[in-house]
Amino acid sequence: MTDLSPYVLVGIILVLTVLSAFFSSAETAMIGLDRYRLRHLVKEKRRGARKANRLLRRPDRLLGIILLGNNLVNFTAASVATVIGIQLFGDTGVVLAPVVLTIFFLIFAEVAPKTIAAQAPERIAFPAAYILEPLLKLFYWVVLFINFIANNLVKPFLPKPTEIEGDGLSVDELRTVVDAGVGIPGGGQNMLLSILNLEKVSVDDIMVPRGEIVGIDIDDEMPNILSVLANSQHTRLPVYKDNINNILGMLHLRRLARHLPRQSHPDQMTRADLMQLTDEPYYVPEQTPLHTQLVNFKKEKKRIALVVDEYGDVQGIVTLEDILEEIVGEFTTDYAAHIPEIHPQNDGSFLIDGMALLRDINRVLGWDFPTGGPKTLNGLVLEHLEAIPESNLCLRIDDYLIETLQIKENVIKSLKITRLPQVEEA
């Protein structure tokens, strides 16, 4: 080699630089591939993706062939550079050549190609797989020998199999991916995030509270019962005796409508007729997560459930539609149709019923009342005051000015709330 012209040796250095850049970029690109996108491309039968996926099944062998090639190229380049240094500068070249070659290789064979590969791993990894796969077959036994020694050396430092995390994403990791919103069209991002957040919300967060349940007292006069049925805005009503804790069944008004044509005089309908049309009530605990209840609705083939506390007392009603609205949002943009407790005022404030749910207020008005404690606005104010006020008063909770307007039977019935302007932090 010492007899070769310096120009030839420089040409060899350039070829070795290209080879080193190939191995360096291939390493970064292969390791930087998105495994989930790679699986998708494999399903689409992309040849480069399928080859890359086969190589990544044994990352130790993949790294073995890449590092074998890279080190072989780099050490060869170091030897050639030393020869060039001796030819041009004599003994001084022995010291000068490694310094110059290190800087040259660091720029053109390491940093630059790895930066490109990190930015576009698929463009580098898939073509590289066509070269790395036959190289691995050619030097299979060499790589196998190197990996055998290396794997045994690092074995004491590797985590136990039970400590190795699965290849799948956790819920929080998946939430972060979805929150990035890359490539998710329309409102799909919000819907996916809502689905992931179902496990953080329980049925008592979205239920219709006990005080707002519309039902039928079977002991009531029949004209009153028929009036409730005729004016009901709901398709399913609980039928109870004496009080709401004594539920006898759930009445579907569609079934009642089919039964009415058989009656020559609907006014002659009896309580026994109503009871024959009811279904068994379906009870769920108040702390059931929404994603669990959604599955339970499907399994039980139910659309409505009575929410009970630990003592078995009915606390509210939750429906399948309530859970679906948590995912897709309100089925109408007119919040007054669904949240009649909220009344906007000309001065920018809002008159809100004390029994309005905090989650509904936050969703409709874009506010951020805390929802980890009390469920209603009345409960939030009472928790903040730590007492039941004897007369109307004003208070401030975070960025909200609150004025109580009506207090009755130990409950704040109505409040006026103004949100203070948001001050942007420097």
Q: Give per-residue burial for 281-290: e unless 16+ CB within 10 Å, then b.
A: bbebbbebeb
Tokens 């919300």 found at: 201
100-109, 252-261, 373-382: range with lowest mean pLDDT: 252-261
- Domain ranges for the chain: 6-163, 201-328, 335-419
Closest by CA to 301, choosing from 282, 286, 277, is 282
Asked whether the predicted pLDDT for residue 172 surpasses 90, the reply is no
What is the number of residues in the chain?
426
70-84, 183-197, 213-227, 252-266: range with lowest mean pLDDT: 252-266
Asked whether the predicted pLDDT for residue 186 surpasses 70, the reply is no
Interval 328-343 mean pLDDT: 63
The 10s digit of each residue's pLDDT in 394-413 is 999 988 999 999 998 888 99
Reading the block at residue 259, the tokens are 């039964």
Provide the pLDDT for residue 335. 46
Interval 56-64 mean pLDDT: 90
* Residue 345 burial (CB count, 10 A): 11
Share of residues in the chain with pLDDT > 70 (%):
88
Q: Are 33 and 122 in contact (CB under 8 A)?
A: yes
Q: Are 295 and 179 in contact (CB under 8 A)?
A: no
At the topology level, CATH places domain 335-419 in 3.30.465
Provide the pLDDT for residue 34. 84
Asked whether the predicted pLDDT for residue 90 surpasses 80, the reply is no
Answering whether pTM is above 0.75, one says no
- CA–CA distance, 350 with 344 (Å, rounded to integer): 4
Q: Are 147 and 61 in contact (CB under 8 A)?
A: yes
* Residue 261 burial (CB count, 10 A): 8
Helix, strand, or coil (residue 396): strand
At the topology level, CATH places domain 201-328 in CBS-domain (3.10.580)
The type of residue at 360 is: D
Task: Tell me if 201-328 shares its fold with 335-419.
Answer: no
Asked whether the predicted pLDDT for residue 334 surpasses 50, the reply is no
Q: Are 380 and 373 in contact (CB under 8 A)?
A: yes
The type of residue at 84 is: I
